[in-house]
Amino acid sequence: MLNTLLFIGGLGAWEIALIMLIVLVFFGAKRIPELARGVGRGIREFKDATSEVRNSIESESKKEDVSTTKKEA
């Protein structure tokens, strides 16, 4: 969420309004909710995948720490 806010922070009100107008013209008012849901799902899947990778790396790191500690003892 913070990364998204930082990205949007670089855009002014006119730029955001122009982007929204272009999306409205290209896709129409009826398809915008569908597009927003698709983008939301994509972002959620990306976040889930990155947290899964992070958790996997952390668990492997903890396993290595435990095995190193046992070897030293």
Q: pLDDT at position 44, please?
A: 95
The model carries a pTM of 0.56
Backbone dihedral angles phi then psi of residue 11, each to the nearest 5 degrees:
-100, 140
What is the full per-residue pLDDT of the chain (73 aa) written as tens digits? 555 555 556 778 888 889 889 988 988 888 888 988 999 999 999 999 999 999 999 888 887 766 666 666 5
State the DSSP code for 73: -
25, 17 contact by CB (below 8 A): no
CA 18 – CA 20 distance, rounded (Å): 5
State the DSSP code for 12: -
Q: pLDDT at position 11, please?
A: 74
